C-alpha cells in the first residue's frame, strides 16, 4: 500500500497565527499600562544599570548596643532586601554586603525612594487599642464621634473609681505617684540619652509625668501642663526611652515625636506601647500587647476592594497565626470580658501581670457602631489602620489605609518576605554613570552587526532566493523579541543588560542553524528523486524533528542556567530562553509557510535563482535522456 505523502499544510492559517502574535505583543506594548507615557517611552525597553546607569544606595545596619551585627543576621537581611528589590520589579539588581555592617544596593534608573523603603524593618503587630487621645488634647474635647463620647456624660477622670459606672478616659495602667521611684526611670537606654532627657525636662517634670494616671487636660490643670512643656523639646530617640504611660499621658509629646522614634522602639510584643498613624496627626493610641505578629503571616498581596474601589493588603496566616487572630477578634467583640485598666498591675518594663485581657476604654477605644474594641495594625512604629472589629473573624485579614497601588504593593512585599532582623540607616546615595557599559554596548552591537552582515552575505551567495526567507525570518524574530522585551520590562520588570544582549546574539546563531537544517533536508529530498514542490513538505517533516530537538536542548539549558545562577548570568539565560521560544514560533508560523508559498513559484524551480543549485540540476538530469551508456539513462546517486 502506497504511503500517503505529507501535506504541505495551510500556510494562510500559519501566517494568521503569526499576525495574531504580532497584534497581541504590539498591542500590549502600545496600550497596556501606558497611561501618561509618550510614544518614545512606550517603545523603550527597560535597560539595566550597565546600559543607562542607575542608583547606588549604601545602608548601614545599626544595633542597640552599637556593635557590629552577627554575620548570619547580615546575610539574612541581605537576602530579604534582595527579595524585596526584585519584587518591586527591579531585575538583576545587585545587593551585596560589604564590611561587617553595610549592604550596598545597585539598580538601574532613578529608584532612591523605592530603595529606601526596602530597608524598612517591617515589623508587623496586631494590637488591641486600649485608649486613644488626641496629641495635646484630652479625650472629652475631641470632635471625632468615633473616638469621643458626649462631654456632658464624661466626669472628671480622677473622680471615677470604677469602670463599670464611669466613662473616664483614664488610659494608662500606672502605679500611684508614690510608687514612682528612681528605679522606675532606670529604663534600658544608652546612658547619654537618659542624661539628655533629664537635662531637658528636669527632675520635677519627670516625677510629675511618672505620676500621671490619665492624659493631662491643659484647660483643667494649666500649672501641670506648663510644668510638662519641656517634653515637647525632645526628639524621637529621646522620646523612645520614656515609659509608655509618659508617652501617652503627657500632652506635649506629639505624634510627630512618636513617629520619629528609631525603628524597633515598640517591637516587643509583650509590652504596652503608644503609636500614632503614619501621617503624624490624629490620635495617640495606647496599645495592648500583641499576640499576632508578622511572623504569623503566610502570604500578603495587594488587591482592590471593589465595594469601595480602594487598595487594601490582604493577609493570610499560618495555622498558629490564624488561631491567634481569631482569638484576638473574639476578644475585641467582647470589650467587657477583660480586666479594667486600673486593676492591672503594670511592671516597670511596661508589661502587665495576669492572663486575662485588658478592657478597652469605652469612650476612646471603641467603635461608634456596636461599641466593639478597635484593633490597630502596627507597622514598625506607626499605626497603619485601626478598624473596629464587629464580629469574630475566622479567615484572612485586610489592612486598609487609603493606600495607592504602589504603597499597597510595597507593604505587601515587605510583609510577604518578612521583617528584617536588623535596623538599617541609609548612609550614601550615588548616581552610577553608564559610560563604560555604553562603550561595551557599542562595541558589541558593532560586532553583532558585522556578524549578521557576514551571515547574510553567505546565505544570499549560497542559497540565493532562499536567503530572502532567512532574512525575513530574522526580521520577524527581531520584531517579536523587541516587543516582548518592552512588554516584559513593563509587566514583570525584566531589565535588558549586556548579558541579555549576549544571549540574544547567541540565539541568532542557533536560529541560523535551523535554516540550514531545513534547506539541506530539502536538497536531500530532491536528490532522492522528489520534485521540488513535493520535497518541501517531506523535508519539513524530517527537519522539524531535528529543529525541535535542538531548540529543546537549548531551552532546557537556559532553564537550568536560570534556576541555578544569579545576576547577569541569569539575565543571559532568560534572554537565551526567550529568543529560543520566539525562534520556534517564527519557524512554524513564518519560515515553513513561506517555503510552501515559494515552492509554487517558477523562481523556486530555477537552479540559478532558488539556491537549490546542483540538487535541481541533478534532478533534471535524472529525469532526462542523456545517455550514460548503451540504453541507460544517466543517473547519479544522491
Asked if 596 and 572 sit in the same domain, the reply is: yes
Q: Is residue 84 part of a domain?
A: yes
Give per-residue pLDDT as tens, 544-572. Answer: 888 888 889 999 999 998 888 766 788 88
CATH code at position 571: 1.20.1640.10
Examine the domain organization and report whether 107 and 229 are in the same domain: no
- 270 shares a domain with 152: yes
- Asked whether 370 and 390 are in contact (CB, 8 A), the reply is yes
Same domain, 287 and 203: yes
Please identify, among 99, 119, 139, the residue that sits at the C-terminal boundary of a domain.
119
The closest alpha carbon to 115, from 103, 129, 124, 99, belongs to 103
With a CB cutoff of 8 Å and minimum separation 6, the contacts of 449 are: none
CA atoms within 13 A on the CB side of 41: 9
Helical spans, DSSP H, in 232-348: 236-240, 244-249, 255-259, 319-332
Q: What is the C-alpha to C-alpha distance for residues 11 and 536, in angstroms, rounded to an integer?
A: 13
My answer on whether 335 and 201 are in the same domain is yes
Residues 348 and 444 in one domain: no
Q: Are residues 377 and 467 in the same domain?
A: no
What dihedral angle (degrees, nearest 10) is formed by the CA atoms of 336, 342, 347, 350? 70
Rg for the chain (alpha carbons), in Å?
A: 36
Domain membership of residue 157 (yes or no) is yes
Under the phi-then-psi rule, with left for phi > 0, alpha for psi from -120 to 50, and beta for the rest, what region is 329?
Answer: alpha
115 and 129 fall within a common domain? no
Of 416, 444, 463, which residue is a domain's last? 416
Asked if residue 377 is part of any domain, the answer here is yes
- How many residues are present in the chain? 638
pLDDT of residue 105: 85
Can you tell me the distance from the alpha carbon of 386 to that of 367, in angstroms, rounded to the nearest whole number? 10
Closest by CA position to 478, among listed 511, 429, 455: 511
Distances (CA, A) of 194 to 145, 182, 201, 239: 39, 12, 11, 10
CB atoms within 10 A of CB 472: 14
In a domain, 599, yes or no: yes
Amino acid 483: pLDDT? 92
Is the residue at 289 inside a domain?
A: yes
Query: Ramachandran region of residue 56, left (φ > 0), alpha (ψ -120 to 50) or beta?
Result: beta
Residues 453, 395 within the same domain: no
Q: What's the rounded Cα separation, in Å, for the pair 541 and 68?
A: 66
Give the E-state strand segments of 549-610 in sequence order: none
Same-domain pairing of 485 and 542? yes
Cβ neighbour number for residue 566 with a 10 Å cutoff: 11
634 located within any domain: no
Question: What is the predicted pLDDT for the residue at 557?
Answer: 92
Q: What is the C-alpha to C-alpha distance for residues 490 and 544, in angstroms, rounded to an integer?
A: 34
pLDDT at 57: 85
- CB-based contact 247:287 (threshold 8 Å): no
With contact defined as beta carbons under 8 Å apart, do 46 and 384 qualify?
no
E strands, 220-340, are: 273-277, 283-293, 297-305, 310-317
* CA 45 – CA 478 distance, rounded (Å): 14
For residue 111, give the CATH number of its domain: 3.30.70.3400
Position 106 scores a pLDDT of: 80
What is the Cβ-side half-sphere exposure of residue 306, based on CA atoms within 13 angstroms? 0
- Report which secondary-structure segment, H or E, holds 382: strand 382-385
- Residue span of the structural domain in which 523 resides: 11-45+435-624
Q: Would you state the pLDDT for residue 342? A: 65
* Same domain as 91, residue 135: no
Is residue 5 situated within a structural domain?
no
Give the orientation angle of helix 532-564 with respect to helix 567-586, to 10 degrees.
Answer: 160
CB under 8 Å to 99, separation ≥6 — which residues? Answer: none
Structural contact between residues 250 and 283, judged by C-beta atoms closer than 8 angstroms: no
Can you tell me the distance from the alpha carbon of 411 to that of 403, in angstroms, rounded to the nearest whole number?
A: 9
pLDDT at 499: 83
Cα 560 to Cα 564: distance, rounded to the nearest angstrom: 6
3: in domain: no
pLDDT at 83: 77
Overall domain count for the chain: 3
Last residue of a domain, one of 87, 104, 119: 119
Is the domain of 344 the same as that of 224?
A: yes
Beta strand 382-385 with 273-277: parallel, antiparallel or unpaired?
parallel
Instruction: Using 70 as the pLDDT threshold, list the residues of the chain that sit under it.
Output: 1-9, 64-66, 87-93, 109-117, 135-191, 278-281, 341-356, 369-370, 435-437, 566-567, 603-638
Predicted confidence at residue 160, as pLDDT, reads 31
CATH number at residue 403: 3.30.1360.200
Amino acid at each position: 500500500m502506497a504511503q500517503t505523502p505529507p501535506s504541505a499544510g495551510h500556510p494562510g492559517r500559519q501566517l494568521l497565527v503569526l499576525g495574531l502574535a504580532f497584534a497581541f505583543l504590539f498591542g500590549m506594548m502600545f496600550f497596556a499600562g501606558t497611561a501618561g507615557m509618550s510614544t518614545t517611552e512606550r517603545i523603550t525597553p527597560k535597560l539595566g544599570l550597565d546600559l543607562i546607569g542607575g542608583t547606588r544606595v549604601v545602608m548601614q545596619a545599626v544595633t542597640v548596643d552599637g556593635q557590629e551585627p552577627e554575620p548570619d543576621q547580615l546575610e539574612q537581611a541581605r537576602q530579604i532586601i534582595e527579595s524585596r528589590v526584585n519584587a518591586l520589579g527591579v531585575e538583576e539588581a545587585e545587593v551585596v554586603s560589604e564590611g561587617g555592617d553595610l549592604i550596598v544596593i545597585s539598580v538601574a534608573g532613578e529608584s532612591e525612594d523605592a530603595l529606601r523603603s526596602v530597608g524598612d524593618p517591617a515589623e508587623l503587630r496586631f494590637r488591641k487599642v486600649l485608649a486613644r487621645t488626641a496629641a495635646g488634647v484630652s479625650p472629652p474635647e475631641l470632635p471625632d464621634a468615633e473616638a469621643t463620647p458626649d462631654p456632658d456624660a464624661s466626669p472628671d477622670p480622677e473622680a471615677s473609681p470604677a469602670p463599670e459606672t464611669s466613662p473616664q478616659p483614664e488610659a494608662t495602667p500606672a502605679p500611684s505617684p508614690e510608687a514612682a521611684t528612681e528605679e522606675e526611670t532606670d529604663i534600658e537606654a544608652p546612658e547619654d540619652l537618659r542624661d539628655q532627657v533629664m537635662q531637658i525636662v528636669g527632675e520635677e517634670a519627670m516625677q510629675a509625668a511618672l505620676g500621671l494616671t490619665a492624659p493631662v487636660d491643659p484647660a483643667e490643670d494649666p500649672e501641670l501642663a506648663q510644668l510638662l512643656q519641656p517634653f515637647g523639646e525632645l526628639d524621637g530617640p529621646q522620646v523612645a526611652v520614656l515609659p509608655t504611660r509618659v508617652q501617652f499621658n503627657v500632652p506635649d509629646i506629639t505624634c510627630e515625636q512618636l513617629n520619629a522614634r528609631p525603628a524597633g522602639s515598640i517591637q516587643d510584643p509583650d509590652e504596652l506601647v503608644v503609636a500614632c498613624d503614619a501621617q503624624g496627626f490624629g490620635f495617640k493610641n495606647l496599645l495592648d500587647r500583641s499576640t499576632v505578629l508578622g511572623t504569623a503571616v503566610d502570604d500578603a498581596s495587594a488587591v482592590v476592594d471593589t465595594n469601595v474601589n480602594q487598595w487594601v493588603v490582604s493577609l493570610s496566616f499560618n495555622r498558629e497565626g490564624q488561631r491567634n487572630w481569631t482569638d484576638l477578634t473574639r476578644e475585641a467583640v467582647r470589650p467587657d470580658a477583660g480586666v479594667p485598666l486600673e486593676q492591672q498591675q503594670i511592671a516597670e518594663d511596661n508589661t502587665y501581670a495576669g492572663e486575662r485581657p485588658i478592657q478597652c476604654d469605652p469612650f476612646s477605644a471603641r467603635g461608634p457602631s456596636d461599641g466593639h474594641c478597635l484593633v490597630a495594625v502596627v507597622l514598625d512604629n506607626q499605626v497603619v489602620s485601626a478598624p473596629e472589629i464587629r464580629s469574630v473573624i475566622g479567615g484572612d485579614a485586610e489592612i486598609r489605609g487609603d493606600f495607592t497601588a504602589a504603597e499597597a504593593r510595597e507593604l505587601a512585599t515587605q510583609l510577604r518576605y518578612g521583617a528584617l532582623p536588623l535596623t538599617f540607616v541609609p548612609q550614601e546615595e550615588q548616581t552610577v554613570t553608564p559610560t563604560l557599559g555604553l562603550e561595551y554596548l557599542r562595541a558589541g552591537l558593532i560586532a553583532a552587526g558585522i556578524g549578521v552582515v557576514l551571515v547574510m552575505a553567505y546565505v544570499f551567495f549560497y542559497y540565493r532566493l532562499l536567503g530572502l526567507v532567512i532574512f525575513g525570518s530574522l526580521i520577524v524574530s527581531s520584531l517579536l523579541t523587541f516587543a516582548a522585551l518592552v512588554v516584559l520590562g513593563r509587566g514583570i520588570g525584566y531589565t535588558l543588560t549586556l548579558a541579555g544582549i549576549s544571549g540574544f546574539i547567541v540565539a541568532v546563531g542557533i536560529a541560523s542553524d535551523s535554516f540550514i537544517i531545513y534547506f539541506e533536508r530539502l536538497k536531500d529530498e530532491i536528490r532522492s528523486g522528489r520534485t521540488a514542490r513535493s520535497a518541501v513538505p517531506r523535508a519539513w517533516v524530517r527537519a522539524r524533528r531535528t529543529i525541535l530537538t535542538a531548540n529543546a536542548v537549548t531551552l532546557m539549558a537556559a532553564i537550568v542556567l536560570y534556576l541555578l545562577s544569579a545576576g547577569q548570568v541569569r539575565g543571559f539565560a532568560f534572554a537565551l530562553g526567550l529568543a529560543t521560544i520566539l525562534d520556534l514560533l517564527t519557524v512554524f508560523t513564518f519560515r515553513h509557510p513561506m517555503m510552501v508559498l515559494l515552492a509554487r513559484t517558477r523562481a523556486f524551480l530555477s537552479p540559478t535563482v532558488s539556491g537549490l543549485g546542483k540538487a535541481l540540476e541533478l534532478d533534471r538530469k535524472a529525469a532526462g535522456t542523456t545517455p550514460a551508456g548503451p540504453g541507460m539513462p544517466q543517473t547519479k546517486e544522491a
